[in-house]
């Protein structure tokens, strides 16, 4: 496992360095030059093709895992991920692939994994629903497709601030690696370590300096792998509660669901309407008051990076209990409810300017 971790992180790190060093050769199509949109907050155009180092690191790690185990499961899983990764990468380079085509590509990837690996959601530990899913495979397939697409899209939603989605994803993969170890599933544990290494290699360049972003390709790849490893853990091991992976990913998933509710019922807008009211964005605007008003690129980057630890802490409040109670469905459900309540309460406090003073981070340009 240490060899997989080292090699995947090393190749991801080296390729990331090469993409940054030679950015002048590809930034005309790989960088995000639109800095004026409502969801834009970076000081200068930065390459969005960080998904390439992540994929390369994953492939290297899976190659080592195949050599050690002779299992085709990791190989087929990487092959199944190609539609999701490819659609995101094309968007990163052309800026012409909308959310719907990317989501459909992820649905296709989930269907491929379902038929290649039998990676399907056939139980939720809810008796009536479990009985229906076991009798009608088409319903299990549809639920799987929606779940995988939803998780991939949710990871993409929280991507943007330096280190935010990358560290959250590493938290999740560490929790799943721990559970894979507990149930003695070397294949899934190896995939988790390959993903941890691949993401860590990119994070070296992404946090705190923001020299390269994962982009849609990286976000959809990471989200797809999180969803598929989750499904395979539950499908292959009856002792693993299906609420374990849900609690692991509840932060990005509930962020997405709450945003849909907010836009549809509170703002009377389309659920896909872009805005700057995600939790990480309002923390950036109203909690991290670091050098506010400064136009210096270094100050903007530092403020960007100081936002992410708030969300890392929030994510850990779900990932740690998930890891501790991975086989106890009632307790996991309770923590899911507690997290959703905590998220809404925190959001309301910040949006109403009632953030506790000890959470505020201040520094004025003249301090």
125 touches 271 (CB < 8 A): no
pLDDT of residue 35: 53
Which segments are annotated as binding site for Mg(2+)? 156, 216
Any idea what DSSP says for residue 33? Answer: -
For residue 56, is pLDDT > 70?
yes
Which pLDDT band, with edges at 50, 70 and 90, does 159 fall under? confident
Closest by alpha carbon to 249, among 105, 183, 153?
A: 153
Query: What token pair was written down for 229?
Result: 């490893």
Q: What mean pLDDT is predicted for residues 282-300? A: 86
Any idea what DSSP says for residue 251? Answer: H
CB atoms within 10 A of CB 337: 10
Q: Cα 209 from chain centroid?
A: 20
User: What is the per-residue burial (b if ≥16 Cβ within 10 Å, else e) of 15-45?
Assistant: bbbebbeebeeebeebbbeeeeeeeebbbee
For residue 39, is pLDDT > 50?
no
Which pTM value belongs to this model?
0.93
Cα–Cα distance for residue pair 30/174, rounded to 1 Å? 30
Q: What is the pLDDT of residues 90-149, one digit of tens each?
A: 999 998 888 899 999 999 999 999 999 999 998 999 989 999 998 999 999 999 999 999
- Alpha-carbon torsion (214, 216, 218, 223), positive or negative: positive
**Mean predicted lDDT score pLDDT of the chain:** 92
* Alpha helices by DSSP H, the chain: 2-21, 23-30, 51-69, 73-94, 99-117, 127-135, 137-157, 164-182, 186-206, 215-236, 243-248, 250-261, 279-286, 297-324, 329-351
Bridge partners, 363 (sequence order): 290
pLDDT of residue 43: 55
pLDDT of residue 119: 94
Give the range among 245-254, 288-297, 326-335 with minimum mean pLDDT. Answer: 288-297
Residue 167 or residue 28, greater confidence: 167
Which segments are annotated as binding site? 156, 216
Closest by alpha carbon to 138, among 158, 116, 121, 162?
A: 121
On the question of a cis peptide bond just before residue 208, with omega within 30 degrees of 0, the verdict is: yes
pLDDT of residue 38: 44
């Amino acid at each position: 496992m240490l060899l997989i971790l080292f090699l995947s992180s090393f190749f991801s790190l080296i390729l990331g360095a090469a993409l940054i060093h030679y950015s002048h050769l590809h930034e005309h199509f790989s960088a995000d030059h639109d800095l004026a949109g409502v969801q834009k907050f970076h000081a200068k155009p930065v390459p969005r093709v960080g998904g390439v180092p992540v994929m390369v690191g994953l492939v290297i790690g899976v190659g080592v895992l195949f050599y050690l185990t002779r299992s085709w499961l990791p190989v087929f899983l990487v092959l199944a991920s190609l539609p999701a990764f490819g659609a995101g990468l094309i968007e990163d380079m052309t800026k012409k692939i909308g959310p719907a085509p990317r989501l459909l590509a992820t649905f296709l990837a989930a269907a491929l994994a379902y038929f290649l690996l039998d990676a399907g959601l056939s139980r939720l530990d809810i008796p009536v629903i479990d009985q229906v899913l076991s009798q009608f495979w088409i319903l299990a397939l549809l639920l799987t497709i929606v779940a995988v697409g939803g998780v991939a899209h949710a990871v993409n939603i929280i991507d943007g601030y330096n280190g935010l989605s990358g560290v959250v994803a590493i938290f999740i993969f560490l929790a799943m690696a721990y559970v894979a170890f507990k149930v003695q599933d070397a294949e899934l544990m190896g995939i988790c370590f390959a993903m941890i290494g691949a993401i860590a290699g990119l994070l070296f360049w992404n946090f705190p300096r923001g020299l390269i972003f994962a982009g849609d390709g990286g976000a959809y790849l990471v989200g797809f792998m999180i969803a598929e490893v989750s499904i395979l853990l539950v499908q292959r091991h009856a002792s693993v509660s299906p609420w374990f992976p849900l609690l692991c990913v509840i932060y990005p998933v509930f962020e997405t669901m709450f945003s849909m509710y907010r836009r549809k019922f509170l703002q009377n807008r389309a659920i896909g309407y872009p805005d700057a009211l995600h939790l990480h964005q309002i923390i950036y605007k109203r909690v991290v008051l670091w050098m506010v008003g400064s136009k210096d690129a270094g100050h903007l980057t530092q403020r960007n990076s100081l936002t992410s630890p708030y969300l890392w802490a929030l994510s850990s409040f779900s990932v740690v209990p998930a890891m501790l109670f991975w086989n106890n469905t009632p307790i996991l459900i309770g923590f899911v409810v507690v997290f959703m309540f905590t998220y809404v309460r925190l959001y309301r406090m910040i949006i109403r300017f009632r953030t506790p003073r000890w959470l505020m981070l201040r520094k004025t340009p003249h301090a």
